[in-house]
Structure 1
Amino acid sequence: MFQPDKIKKSESLSKHSTFRVGGEAKYFYECGNTKEIPDLIRWAYHNKLPFFVLGGGSNVIFPDKGFDGLVIKITASEIKVGKTQITAEAGAKLMQVAKIAGENDLGGIEEFISIPGSVGGAVRGNAGCFGKEISSVLRAAWILKAGRVQKVGKDYFNFSYRYSRLKDTHEVLLKAVFSIHKGCDQKRMKEVLALRKEKQPWGLSAGSFFKNPNGASAGELIEKCGLKGKTFGGAQISEKHANFILNLGSAKASDILALAKMAQDAVKEKFDVDLEPEVQIVG
């Protein structure tokens, strides 16, 4: 049972997003025990409130007006290491899962050392980088479905590029099991971190803003439209990688979304390609 006195009111969501933008949540609850989630959702339904389940906040943008409901931030982050699998709760950072696997000389998920998001968000969006996706290593998971905890296999998720069925069903991932093997490729880990540092900008962002269209790079298309370095308000399309939108320090969510719309319109006009956001836009 969750603790009602732990529900915060008027919590700034900018503190819980790597974009550092967004208004206030009417109600906010940090959930360190996934067993609390069913009761929290029932509480939201009872009070006729919308709810949103948040992980690390690295792939989401909240509106300036905030969220008029309950935001449940999953902070449960236990990681258990086995011989052929590693199990992590939804709030664990994916890079921490990869790091712990590496420290135990276990491989198979080296590329994930560069993904800052949570396990829950990574499974929901079939996160990936440098040729490795969550779908290639997920073995099983526990989800909250229709108010009940259920264990499911990999096939349940209907994975495709940056997609799982959780995006449509809004079921909540609680814990995931990843396949690993003996022997960590430390050289690969260092290579991946070096590539990310070389190719991707640092700063306040949510990583790649758009999915790559079939056979193309979203960043290259945006760059060919002459939008690299374009600013609007306190936001900028990165000069280093055009598929990154940065908060330069004073941006509002509306500034970021205005640049995203500008990029979508330009790419549509020049290449007749529709750019689909990879970042989850709330509201």
Structure 2
Amino acid sequence: MKTIRHGMLAWSLGLASALMGVNAQAAKNPRCVITDNRVCQLQFDPNQVYEITGVYGYATTIEFAPGEKILNKAIGDSIGWQVLKFRNHLVLKPVEPDARTNLTVTTSNHVYYFRLSSSKNPDRATYAVRFIYPADGNDGWSDDSGGVSDTSYAQPRMVNRNYQVSGDESSFGLQRVFDDGQFTYFLTTIGKPKPSIYVVDRDGTEALAPMRREGPYLVVEQMADKFTLRDGDRTLCVARTTQAQATQAQRSPWGGGN
């Protein structure tokens, strides 16, 4: 009977140790770059909790993808931590020497989960944490075929091509905008960075438009009078026009003469 009890105790301790090991891996620590261990990078995973250690008296900047917009931040302890946002950057600063809490950040692209802890040791200070997104590749149009467009997609039906563009469309590689009466298509040069596309309401409010790639096209599954394309600090405005307006704007590559 003692042998059985000892065996069960050993099994229980082993299970507890295994569970502790799993919990210990539940939060992912930043991997620092070789040149300076105060600048780190994290690979984005939607199912991952990230461990950030701040130092009392120091600020840590978290950098998300270019053009990614911070929509909301929710922190458990708003007294022990100061959280500021600027464009695609979030600045964390512990205002108490031993502050532990969690933080959830919702952006235009993703949701991030953090576990925050603070230390008095300045050697543990992290100045910057940058996210990388390997699932997006280089976030461009380059592919394994050496830049050749994928021809396996169905060619979309062009119903309306009366769109005008304001901005430097060449920097975005934008060649044409049209719709098929249901979806809007943005024909973009292979090899150019993929921008974020926003639908602009009548009051000027922008909302990120869900999109997908079909060959050389960015497809937005809706129609709108105005769109904004963003890539970092660069913007491009696209407006749907009437046939009469398009006829008056023959100089535009998006007018009725295209």
* TM-score computed with the length of structure 1 as normaliser: 0.22
Q: Please state which structure has a larger fraction of its residues in helix.
A: 1
Bigger-Rg structure (1/2): 2
